[in-house]
Homo-oligomer: A and B are copies of this chain.
Amino acid sequence: MSTEKMPLAGLKVLDLSRVYAGPYCTMMLGDLGAEVIKIERPGFGDDTRDFMPKKDGESGYFAYMNRNKKSITLDLKSPKGVEIVKELAKWADVMVENFSPGVVDKLGIGYKDIVKVNPEIIYGSISGFGQFGPYKSKPAYDVVTQAMGGFMALTGEKDGTPYKLGPSIVDASAGIHMAFAIMAALYYKNKTGKGQYIDVAMMDTAFSTLENFVVTKTLTGVAPTRNGNANLGSAPFNCFKTSDGYVTIACANDSLFKKLTDVMNRPDLLEIPEYGSNSLRKQNEEPLNAEIEKWTMQYKTAEIVEMLDKAKVPVGPILDVDDLVEDPHLKSRNMLINIPHPVFGDMIYPGNPLKFSLTNEIRMDSAALLGQHTDEILENVLKKSKEEIEELHKMEVL
């Protein structure tokens, strides 16, 4: 497919990242047309090549995160492998990695090594806790950063178990924050000619997205805690039981509350002084929520949604994965796309959430099999002879 109608056509990305945070970053770059070369361990590849779901030996996890990328295998512990990384780094505009801090330096492919062969490179490192600071050496998975970045303490019932968001949201968040930072560095490079190094920590990105929870503490001295599905400042604004499940209803002002009471046919609620303003409703939300749930329990979720949609009250069903893959809205927005996979055949993936009016081509190259482009990259990008490539295979560098 032509990349000329893609915004990042021509951008060259060398991708040493694995699992989720780094690959989500480079997926965003690749979806938008960048040429992404992914370096993987010979024999095994990215850890996620073995992650669920798997079929016929290939992983759907890997296939989603690594579409639109080419795969080259390289033994990073061999001098020859390091040499080839440096040759590829000369080709690249951008390099991305998410090993634990210190690993790339030990391998001889850290920023200080790469900047010698490509002074203008933009080099991004994603990690759990970043490249400096007291926790920098702590190993991290997403759940650890959801715990230490504040998400878990603020999710679940006040006196109940703290919950993580099911999907690994801090990985994705760190990845898209890094993608933005890389583009900002490219903007700067375009003006000044200068590349640079970027350090993004998962804990920092979680902390950066705690909305008003942090400033509530620093301004008032009182730290908000988790409180089920209640909103910090508005009511009724919660998740309610229906006769066949749950529904979310969100009223942040008097006008929405009035519309809700109209649909409920409960004008009497407007007469109760305790419900007379948003802040009063928030203070008295328990009895108010009970009134609303008494109403929602009489209907199916779909019925509540239909009634409140008509009245323009913010309302939503809890869609599960079965619902989402059939959702007409997601389908109409190209958020469910078929990318034929060399092993799976037809396969439905989440699409890209960025909809451009001009650069609106949807790129649909399947994820590569392990090392699928090794020879092609050595030959076409690094201009190695067939003999040299043969020799590298023999040396088990590839």
Contact = CB atoms under 8 A, between A and B. Distances in A.
Interface of A: 7-11, 20, 24, 28, 32, 51-53, 55, 60-61, 63-64, 111, 129-135, 138-141, 143-156, 161-169, 171-173, 176-181, 183-188, 190-191, 194-201, 203-205, 207-220, 223-229, 231-233, 237-239, 246-248, 250, 252, 309, 312-325, 328-330, 332-333, 335, 344, 347-359
Contacts of A229: 143, 152, 161, 163-164
Copies of chain A in the complex: 2
Nearest to A24: B209
Contacts of A134: 328-329, 332
Given A155-B164, A156-B156, A329-B135, A350 B214 contact: yes
A131 B219 CA distance: 37
A224 B166 CA distance: 10
Contact of A162 (B196, B209, B226, B318): B318
Contacts of A149: 319
B184 A167 contact: no
A218 B349 contact: yes
Nearest to A197: B357
B320 A223 contact: yes
A226 B166 contact: yes
A213 B167 contact: yes
A-B residue pairs, 10 tightest by C-beta: A154-B166, A183-B183, A223-B321, A204-B353, A144-B316, A196-B358, A60-B215, A197-B357, A172-B209, A153-B320
Contacts of A355: 130-131, 198-201, 204
B203 A139 contact: no
28 contacts: A8-B184, A52-B212, A52-B216, A53-B220, A60-B215, A64-B212, A130-B355, A133-B332, A134-B328, A143-B238, A143-B248, A144-B248, A147-B317, A149-B319, A150-B167, A152-B239, A163-B229, A165-B169, A169-B209, A183-B184, A198-B354, A200-B353, A201-B353, A207-B350, A214-B324, A217-B321, A218-B325, A218-B347
A178 to B, nearest CB: 8
A32 B133 contact: no
Nearest to A139: B314
Given A28-B180, A150-B321, A357-B198, A143 B329 contact: no
A42 B54 CA distance: 57
